[in-house]
Amino acid sequence: MGIGAGSVLTAMTTSAIELARSPQDGSFARLRPLVAEDSELTLRWRLSERAVQLNRGSTSVEQQRAWIQGRPTTELNYLIETRDQTPVGMLSLIDIDLTHRRAEAARFLLGDEAATRGLPIAVEAMKLLYSVAFDRLGLARVYGSVIEDNPRMLKWQKYFGMQVEGRLRQHIFIDGRLQDLIIVGILEPEFRAIALPRMDGLIALAGTLSHVAKEPE
């Protein structure tokens, strides 16, 4: 049996994504691949009050383990950790399509908010994810969605370069009611021109503040 062009393309896609399936290190945060052993912790986060604005998922550790193990090869699912490898959240790049050079940034959740206070953990986690998308995978576009009840997240996405591209009215049932879903997207040049300077600015500022705080009297 011969190997068709589709099979070759699929193999190339899988290979490129597998290369990106490794820890990504920053100054304050790191992303490491989500593994089955993270089931209990991530389920706890997903069932917490902070996750009320995400889709409901697994309801047991077994379900969560099966969900993690069943992730398709077109996804990169990461656990967000502090530099000392304390897990504080999760973040994913899903529906990675190397033909159309696009993917969705999704499942962004800070499970341990207290551990991230005052630190640009979320900022750097998103920067690392965008770096995987635009630098390592060569994508042209990353998109996402935010429910209307989450204005803080929408502000965050827009500040870091996402453009509002549309609104799906009453698209999703979350937190007891049908809500609009706001579609956002960022192109590779917008990442370099808008997101990266702002992310680097906050990360550098946090570094300076940490340095000042540690200086002796």
Partner 1 sequence: MTISSEQAETLIRDAIEALNEELPEGERVTAKPSTVLFGIGAEIDSLSLVSLVVDIETTLSEQYDLDIALADEEAIARAVLPFSTVQALQDYILERANESR
Question: Judged by CB under 8 A, which of 16, 159, 171, 181 binds partner 1?
Answer: 159
| Residues 91 to 130 in contact with partner 1, rule: CB under 8 A | 110, 113, 116-123
Q: Indicate the residue among 134 and 160 with the shorter CB distance to partner 1.
A: 160
> What's the min distance (Å) between Cβ of 172 and partner 1?
19
Question: Which burial class, exposed, middle or buried, applies to 47 when counting CB atoms under 10 A from its CB (0-12, 13-18, 19+)?
Answer: middle
Task: Show contacts of 62-66: CB within 8 Å, 24+ apart.
Answer: 64/39, 64/40, 65/36, 65/39
> What's the min distance (Å) between Cβ of 78 and partner 1?
17
> What's the min distance (Å) between Cβ of 193 and partner 1?
13
**x/- letters, 173..202, toward partner 1 (CB under 8 A):** ------------------------xx-xxx
Neighbours of 105 (CB within 10 A): 22
Question: Judged by CB under 8 A, which of 2, 72, 213, 216 binds partner 1?
Answer: 213
Q: Indicate the residue among 138 and 197 with the shorter CB distance to partner 1.
A: 197
Is position 158 an interface residue for partner 1 (rule: CB under 8 A)? Answer: yes
Token pair for 128: 């690392």
| Residues 44 to 83 in contact with partner 1, rule: CB under 8 A | 49
Angle subtended by helix axes 39-46 and 61-69, to nearest 10: 110
138 Rama class: left (phi>0) / alpha (psi -120 to 50) / beta: left
Matching residue, tokens 């304050």: 28
Give the C-alpha separation, 176 to 174, whole Å: 6
Q: Indicate the residue among 31 and 119 with the shorter CB distance to partner 1.
A: 119
Contact indicator for 92, 21 with CB cutoff of 8 Å = no
Is position 208 an interface residue for partner 1 (rule: CB under 8 A)? Answer: yes
Rg of the chain taking only CA atoms, in angstroms: 18
Is position 18 an interface residue for partner 1 (rule: CB under 8 A)? Answer: no
Applying CB under 8 A, the span of 70-78, 155-163, 167-175, 179-187 interacting with partner 1 comes to 155-163
Return the DSSP state at 119.
Answer: S
Helix (H, G, I), strand (E, B) or coil at 56: coil
> What's the min distance (Å) between Cβ of 217 and partner 1?
15
Residues within the interface to partner 1 (CB under 8 A)? 49, 110, 113, 116-123, 151-153, 155-156, 158-160, 197-198, 200-202, 204-210, 212-213
